[in-house]
């Protein structure tokens, strides 16, 4: 060994190299976790925004700013005595201030404010909205106050005196004949010439319209949750079946839930019986069935869907959840159950057989109760698969809108709101609502799911 020339300290060097490798591993891991979870985090944050397509993309916006939450809760309490979901109800009286500023000497004009008669969005909601805050709102200017401040120019550093004037408004609920109703939101606009800029407002402005002359708020009495979860509330309230008034998101969830539960039940019956027969019973044709099971797992659904569509159509079951349940092929689960039963000790069954029980009794009273872990794993897989399945509901259930399953419902959301200029907050909110059930399942059964995936490997 040629270590005499340089003062090497081999132990240190080795330790350092090990640490270096470890550091790289963690760099990569953290980077990947950032990419994977970051994508979801950013998409979720965007789903809270008024306009997820805003450019430039802001990472800090009113919906995630705690100080704005408190203001929103205050305004909600003033508007409808509801700090959480806000609104505008009889007896409501809000104080809302705007501060405009202009260089000293420029005339500061009192803005023209109003509560516009505005529908909440472009989609179905436009057809169902019948109450407007503008019918009940009375806006009064209650006072103004001035202050001067010094504004330094960014480029030149030159300092100028500016005047800032705060306009305080009182917006009160005026009910005719005591027949006022609670309105979900209270929009507000302020028109001012471009010589003066809007410096601040009680609630951050939603957007500027008409080249910056009109400051526009979607809702100045939002309440804390009404501010944060606005798009979630909207997607639930505004996607409705126009003929029945049902909330479609809940209908879609219900359908997906029925489909998932139905498939799980069907899967358990089919796969436990068939799996047991394939694992335990020796009879002619068992090999052929086994080959068929494997074969059916490799053939794409597109090969079978035309005939299955016709079967469902001939049974008159199109557009029903039953159709989606029954076309399931349980081969994967049959195979997994077979594997499980093969590892199950034979002796117990044989003892029962000597005792005079028949195969079915043994299966029902001895084998099934002991197969719980395998059944749970299969049920989780089947539930998740059915909940996320797109193809069969897409083909078999096309209308009415309330009959769709969740993934197809999401597609219809995209078609109504997800254009180039669309209401993407609703689309994203719908997508995140749709993953809640599987997310809950993932958290509850995390160990089952993750470990199973690894140990089971490839089916």
CB 425 to other proteins: min, Å: 10
Q: How far is the CB of 93 from other proteins (least distance, A)?
A: 39
Spatial separation of the C-alpha atoms in residues 252 and 401, rounded to whole Å: 9
Site for other proteins in 392-431 (CB under 8 A): 394-395, 406-408, 410-411, 413-415, 418, 420, 424, 427-428, 430-431
Nearer to other proteins, 24 or 149 (CB): 24
Contact 330, 338 (CB under 8 A): no
Task: Tell me which residues in 97-116 interact with other proteins (CB under 8 A).
Answer: none
Indicate the residue among 39 and 144 with the shorter CB distance to other proteins.
Answer: 39
Site for other proteins in 328-387 (CB under 8 A): 328-331, 334, 358-360, 363, 384, 387
Q: Is 394 helix (H, G, I), strand (E, B) or coil?
A: helix
Q: How many residues bind other proteins (CB under 8 A)?
A: 112
Closest listed residue to residue 251, CA positions, set 261, 263, 239: 239
**Smaller CB distance to other proteins: residue 145 or 453?**
453
Using left for φ > 0, alpha for ψ between -120 and 50, and beta otherwise, residue 8 falls in beta
Q: Provide, rounded to whole angstroms, the least separation between the CB of residue 215 and other proteins.
A: 23
Looking at beta carbons only, is 73 or 408 nearer to other proteins? 408
Per CB under 8 A, which of residues 39..98 are in contact with other proteins?
Answer: 39-40, 42-43, 46, 52-53, 55-57
Distance of CA 446 to the CA centre of its chain: 20
Backbone angles phi and psi of 158, in degrees to 5: -75, 135
159-173, strands of its sheet edge to edge = 137-152, 159-173, 93-103, 197-201
Task: Tell me the C-alpha distance between 224 and 269, whole Å.
Answer: 48
Residue nearer to other proteins on the CB measure, 258 or 384: 384
In the window 18-37, what residues touch other proteins (CB under 8 A)?
A: 19-29, 32-33, 36-37
Nearest-angstrom CA–CA distance, 377 and 383: 10
Nearest CA to 393 among 271, 266, 251?
251
Least distance from other proteins to the Cβ atom of residue 240, Å: 20
How far apart CA 446 and CA 131 sit, in angstroms, is 46
Rank residues 151 and 304 by Cβ distance to other proteins and give the closer one: 304
Cβ nearer to other proteins, comparing 106 with 310: 310
Task: Return the residues of window 258-287 that contact other proteins according to CB under 8 A.
Answer: 269-271, 273-274, 276-278, 281-286
Sequence-distant (6+) residues with CB within 8 A of 13 are none
Binding to other proteins (CB under 8 A): which residues in 118-177?
none
User: What φ, ψ does residue 140 adopt, rounded to 5°?
Assistant: -130, 145
CB-nearer residue toward other proteins: 2 or 178? 2
Among 65, 296, 319, 320, binds other proteins (CB under 8 A): 296
The correct pick among 127, 291, 292, 351 for binding other proteins (CB under 8 A) is: 292
* Rg from Cα positions in the chain: 32
Nearer to other proteins, 194 or 282 (CB): 282
Among 391, 400, 416, 448, binds other proteins (CB under 8 A): 391
CA dist 39 and 25 (Å) reads 21
Q: How far apart are CA 70 and CA 114, in angstroms?
A: 24
Residue 115 CA to residue 109 CA, distance in Å, equals 19
Strand partners, 113: 190
Among the listed residues 65, 308, 319, 339, the single contact to other proteins using CB under 8 A: 308
Angle between helix 446-456 and 372-388 (nearest 10): 90
Looking at beta carbons only, is 150 or 154 nearer to other proteins? 154
**Least distance in angstroms from the C-beta of 185 to other proteins:** 24
Q: Is 455 an interacting residue with respect to other proteins (CB under 8 A)?
A: yes
Nearer to other proteins, 109 or 273 (CB): 273
Angstrom CA distances, 230 to 85, 155, 184, stand at: 9, 39, 11
Min CB(282)–other proteins separation in Å:
6
Residue window 205-244: x/- pattern of binding to other proteins, with contact defined by CB under 8 A? ----------------------------------------
Residues 428-447 that bind other proteins (CB under 8 A): 428, 430-432, 434-435, 438-439, 442, 446
Q: How far is the CB of 387 from other proteins (least distance, A)?
A: 7
Closer Cβ to other proteins, 113 or 328, answer by number: 328
Cα distances (angstroms) measured from residue 437 to each of 42, 254, 287, 374, 434: 21, 11, 39, 21, 7
Q: Are the beta carbons of 193 and 391 closer than 8 angstroms?
A: no
The secondary structure of residue 242, as a DSSP letter, is T
């Amino acid at each position: 060994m040629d270590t005499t020339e340089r003062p090497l300290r081999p132990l240190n060097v080795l330790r350092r190299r090990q640490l270096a490798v470890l550091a790289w591993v963690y760099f990569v891991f953290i980077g990947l976790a950032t990419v994977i979870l970051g994508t979801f985090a950013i998409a979720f944050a965007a789903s809270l925004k008024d306009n997820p397509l805003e450019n430039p993309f802001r990472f800090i916006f009113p919906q995630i700013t705690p100080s704005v939450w408190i203001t929103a809760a205050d305004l909600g309490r003033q508007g409808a005595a509801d700090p959480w979901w806000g609104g505008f109800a009889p007896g409501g009286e809000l104080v809302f201030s705007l501060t405009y500023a202009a260089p000293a000497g420029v005339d500061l004009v009192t803005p023209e404010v109003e509560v516009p008669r505005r529908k909440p969005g472009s989609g179905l909601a436009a057809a169902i909205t019948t109450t407007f805050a503008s019918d009940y709102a009375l806006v009064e200017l209650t006072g103004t106050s001035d202050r001067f401040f010094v504004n330094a120019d960014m480029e030149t550093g030159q300092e100028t005196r500016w005047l800032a004037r705060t306009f305080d408004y009182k917006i009160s609920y005026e009910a005719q004949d005591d027949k006022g109703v609670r309105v979900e939101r209270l929009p507000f606009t302020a028109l001012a010439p471009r010589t003066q800029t809007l410096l601040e407002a009680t609630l951050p402005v939603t957007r500027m319209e008409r080249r910056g002359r009109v400051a526009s708020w979607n809702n100045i009495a939002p309440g804390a949750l009404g501010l944060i979860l606005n798009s979630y509330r909207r997607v639930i309230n505004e996607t409705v079946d126009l003929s029945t008034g049902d909330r479609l998101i809940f209908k879609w969830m219900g359908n997906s839930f029925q489909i998932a539960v139905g498939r799980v039940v069907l899967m358990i019956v089919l796969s436990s019986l068939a799996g047991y027969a394939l694992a335990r019973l020796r009879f002619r044709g068992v090999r052929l069935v086994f080959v068929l099971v494997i074969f059916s797992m490799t053939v794409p659904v597109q090969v079978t869907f035309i005939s299955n569509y016709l079967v469902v159509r001939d049974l008159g079951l199109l557009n029903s959840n039953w159709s989606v349940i029954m076309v399931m092929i349980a081969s994967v689960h049959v195979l997994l159950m077979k594997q499980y039963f093969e590892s199950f000790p034979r002796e117990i069954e044989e003892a029962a057989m000597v005792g005079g029980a028949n195969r079915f009794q043994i299966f029902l009273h001895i084998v099934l109760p002991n197969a719980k872990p395998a059944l749970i794993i299969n049920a989780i897989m089947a539930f998740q698969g059915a909940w996320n399945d797109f193809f069969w509901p897409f083909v078999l259930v096309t209308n009415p809108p309330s009959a769709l399953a969740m993934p197809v419902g999401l597609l219809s959301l995209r078609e109504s709101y997800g254009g180039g200029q669309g209401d993407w907050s609703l689309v994203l909110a719908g997508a995140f609502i749709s993953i809640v059930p599987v997310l809950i399942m993932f958290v509850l059964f995390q160990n089952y799911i993750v470990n199973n995936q690894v140990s089971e490997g490839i089916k």
